[in-house]
Structure formats: C-alpha cells, structure tokens
Amino acid sequence: MPTDIILTVDDDVAVSQAITRDLRARYADRYRIARATSGAEALTALEEFARRDQAVALIVSDHRMPEMTGIELLGRSVEFAPNAKKVLLTAYADTDVAIRAINEIGLDHYLMKPWAPPEERLYPVLDDLLGDWQREFGNRFQGVRVVGSKWSERSHDTRMFLARNHVPYQWLELGRDAEAQRLHGLFAADEATEPLVLLPDGTALHGADLRGLADALGLRTTAESTLYDLVVVGAGPAGLAAAVYGASEGLATAIIEREAPGGQAAQSSRIENYLGFPNGLSGADLSHRAVTQAKRLGAEMVLARNVVGLETRGCIHAVQFDDGTSVEARAVLVASGVSYRLLEAPGMAALAGRGVYYGASASDAPGTAGDDVYIVGAANSAGQAAMHLAKYAKRVVMLVRGGSLEAGMSQYLVERINAAENIDVLLHTEIQSGTGTDHLETLTLVNRQTGETQTVEANWVYAFIGALPRTEWLGDDVARDSKGFILTGPDVAALTGDGPRWPLQRMPFLLETSRPGVFAAGDVRLSSMKRVASAVGEGSSAVSNVHMYLETI
C-alpha cells in the first residue's frame, strides 16, 4: 500500500471530488491521495502526516478559499512538508498572483481551471513534478531514525544498542542537520528527553531506556516460559555457543542478555585469527550469525534485561531481574563476560559517553572523521579499534602504559599498526586528567618514566584497559576470587576455609561453580584464555557438563 502522499485542497466540494478523482485514476498505485476542504484542515492533516513520518510528495491547492488562500496555505505547508512539490489551481484573473508566488513561496507550478482533459493539461505537469520529487526524496530512509546531540550519552547508548542488535537506523545530529532540527521541534523534544527515536510506523520515543526501546522495536524482553532446562546469562561468544549446543541437543534453552548479543567481541571491527575465516570477519557479523543459528535451533533470546540475583528453590535455580520478576531453570550457565575498567584520571568519569567511551563499536568510526582519536590500551581489542578508526580519523594515538605493543598484542596487529601512517604509539604514557564542559575537550598526558606532561586537544577517547566481571549478583555461595572471577571445577574442589565450599560427595564438573547446577564459561571464569575461540569452546563444553548434571537430579 502506498505511503507517500498527494494532498488536494479545495473548499468547493464538487471541484475537490473532481481533482481527487483524476489524481486517483493516474497515481493511486504509487501514492495515497488525501483531500482537505480548507487551509486549516490541510495544515492539520500535514502536521499529522509529519508526526507519522509520512512523506508528502505533492500539494495541489485551489487559490480562492475563505479564511486562508491557497498561496498562504502553500507557504505555511513548508513547516510540515518542506520537500513537497506545490501546485496552485487558479482562475484566469489570478495568474499575476500565481506568478508572484513562484518567487515568494517557491511555487512549482500553477494550473488554470478547468484542467480537462487531464491527459493533456494535468498529468504531464504532475508527472514531471513527481518524477523530480522521486529523484530527490523518493529513496527516503525507511528505518529507525535517531535525533539527538553529538555529545549526549543516552543518544550514544541508543545508537550502540541499535547497531549491536543489527537494527538499521539513521542518525540525525542536532546543530548540524536541518532535518534533525525540524523533527526535534515538531515533536517538542528537549535535552532531558534525548534522544528522539522515530520508528517506521510513526511512533515517537522520547528518551526511552533500552528496554523500552527494545519493546517498541518488537525485540523479545520477556521469557516465554517460566521454567527451562538451561538459562544462559550473557550472550557473548561463550553464551551464544552454549545456546546453540543446548538447543540443538534438545534442552529448553533461554539466553538472557543485558544489552545486545556478542559481548565485547561484537564491538571488534575485525577478528582475523578465528578458525575457518581466512579473511577474518567482524565481531558484529560473528555475533549475528551465532544469534541466527541459536534461534533457528530453538533457543530463546531475551534482551535488555538486567540480572540482579540468583536464588535456589530446591533443585531449581531462579534468575532474578531488576523489576522483581524471575525465570527458573534446572541449570544455569553464567557467561556474562567482563566490562572494561574505568579510567580513574580526574575528570574522566564525568565525561563518560560524552567523548570518553569504553570499547568501540564499528559504527562509531565515521563520527570521528577529521579528528584526533586517543586509544588507551595495548591488547588486541585496542589494536583492532585503532586500525578501524584510522580509516576515518585524521590521527589515532595509542596510549600504552608499558614499553611495547608486543607484550599484549598479536604480532600481525603490531605490524599493521607500525605500518599505518596515521597511527602514533606513545609508550609509557597514560592519561593524567581530562577536561571539558559538555564534552571532552582536552587531555593531559604523562610519561610514566620521565614524569613529563603535555596537554592536547581531544574530543575522543576509547579505553580498552583490562576488564572486570560483574558477578556480585551471584551471592555468597558462588566462589569468586578477589576480582570477582568465578571459580570452577578443580579450583572449587580445592576450596578450604570459611568461604563457599563444594557441598556434594561427587566432584564438581569441569565448568561447575561451587553451587551445583550453576556453571561458568568464557571471560567471567577464572583462568579463562580471554579469546573468542576459547570462549566458544567453553560455552559448548559447558552444555556437556549440564547434561551430566541433569542426569544426577
């Protein structure tokens, strides 16, 4: 069904019906033909079309109408339909007024009534105007549009959520894009309700949280069942692998993810050492393939849910959410990964999301075009981000605390970084402080060997400095080390002292925690290798452990 609109406006009912009839006969297969009988009614309709995000291709209006002339209407229509072609229907006596209107309001054409026969006097003119409109505006983006400020933390989070969930969107930046300003004013948005998110069906969301956004997009945020064989907490490589193997082997499986599938791996612009992909692949591509595979095999994906507790109910484990609800499972796999450590330098915490970011999505890079970008860290994730950002940024500067890149980065990345003309590496260097008003503006860097400092202009910092797990929600009976990494298998069997102890006579399975039936895999587990391939291996191996556990209960 056509969505782009042609609007006719005429206070004479007979004339209105006639022009509408002729337009429908010619254009109804390509356009929705709407009509109004006054200027005020037309403006109301145009405002409603704008709020529904429906494009108006053409307005055909009579000139002589009471209260508001056609020229007045067409002049005011720009507020709601700035790209619409404008045609005025006039009597012979109004031709001078129509000619003046070409310059005054940007009138595209005027036609004298009557326009019969339309094949000769109406359609040729409108065909040309609609053809021009189609070439200029007919390929309008049809997906989600996000309107917000460049340095808005919530706008950034929204864009990352959409990108990581593979939802196509268009970013419209306030202060830079005229369409952003128009939509911002039309929907009465303000800074407190940024971003404005416009969905294809015309729904407008003001400052929605991620769960509200997910619900509006039709993404699943609630579990279908109340009891599963296996609930996986975290949809990184380990969690996705477990979901694939669990579902394929007949386990009723649900995977719970706080933000978006893929974990930190999904933010990698290129993974070049993953088995079976000689040309490499992006983290987003890998996670998208894995999610599709897991769903096809029957795993249930639940997004934008924050897990805050784990409760034992007999032989059942209840995964608790922050809204007080829960989902139960016979076995639970914790695959929640790790989060990048925060920069502790003065001023950096206040600028998070406004120039200071932790990790980097591939979709971040175009926004840095022409600027200097600073990357903190020297692991593979930092190197991959540097290579990708260097395609857009004027210069990328890597800040490395140690004396070399080789200590923590794969050799192929080291070689590429050293060969890149616009990537500089500052060794023995860290951030001493950062400053800015509404966004990051300067950094003070310090050489850890000499103590020498320098202050540089900077709007972009991406940090990749180690990682810590978020495991406090597991409670006291799941053993963890001092940093929060989960103990499993032999480490659990060796526990002594007053802390958690293994409670059963049988030995814990290899990936089982100190709570029987609760397993851990991937980066969240103590002594894991912190590589995508090893996380996938652990996630799939955990399912074997789950099967063995389920046979004991």
**How does DSSP assign 359-409, residue by residue?**
S--GGGGGGGTTSEEEEE--SHHHHHHHHHHTTTSSEEEEEESSS-STTTS
**Mean pLDDT value across residues 332-348:** 94
Residue 498's pLDDT band (cuts 50, 70, 90): confident
Residue type, 425: V
Which domains are seen in the chain, by residue range? 5-137 (3.40.50.2300), 144-217 (3.40.30.10), 227-334+467-550 (3.50.50.60), 349-463 (3.50.50.60)
**Mean pLDDT value across residues 256-285:** 84
> Would the pLDDT of 25 be above 80?
yes
Q: Considering only CA atoms, which of 9, 52, 10, 58 is closest in space to residue 31?
A: 58
What token pair was written down for 181? 């300003």
Q: How many CA within 13 A on the CB side of residue 372? A: 12
Sign of CA dihedral 457, 460, 465, 471: positive
Sign of CA dihedral 70, 71, 74, 76: negative
Q: Considering only CA atoms, which of 463, 153, 471, 473 is closest in space to residue 338?
A: 471
> Would the pLDDT of 413 be above 70?
yes
Most confident listed range (40-54, 100-114, 157-171, 226-240)? 226-240
Residue 184's pLDDT band (cuts 50, 70, 90): confident
The confidence score (pLDDT) of residue 346 equals 96
Range with the poorest average pLDDT among 138-142, 429-433, 438-442 = 138-142
Return left, alpha or beta for 488; rule: phi > 0 is left, psi -120 to 50 is alpha, else beta.
Answer: beta
Residue 93's pLDDT band (cuts 50, 70, 90): low
The confidence score (pLDDT) of residue 467 equals 80
> Would the pLDDT of 191 be above 70?
no
| Contact yes or no for 372/397 (Cβ under 8 A) | yes
Range with the poorest average pLDDT among 24-28, 99-103, 117-121, 500-504 = 99-103
| Contact yes or no for 235/253 (Cβ under 8 A) | no
The confidence score (pLDDT) of residue 466 equals 76
**Mean pLDDT value across residues 7-27:** 94
State the pTM of this model: 0.81
> Would the pLDDT of 484 be above 90?
yes
pLDDT above 70 coverage of the chain, percent: 99
Q: When comparing pLDDT for 60 and 365, which is higher?
A: 60
Specify burial of residue 388 (Cβ count, 10 A radius: 0-12, 13-18, 19+): buried
Q: Considering only CA atoms, which of 425, 426, 429 is closest in space to residue 447?
A: 429
| Contact yes or no for 172/189 (Cβ under 8 A) | no
Beta strand 372-376 with 460-463 is parallel
Residue 531's pLDDT band (cuts 50, 70, 90): confident
Please give the mean pLDDT across all residues of the chain.
Answer: 92
What token pair was written down for 366? 């175009």
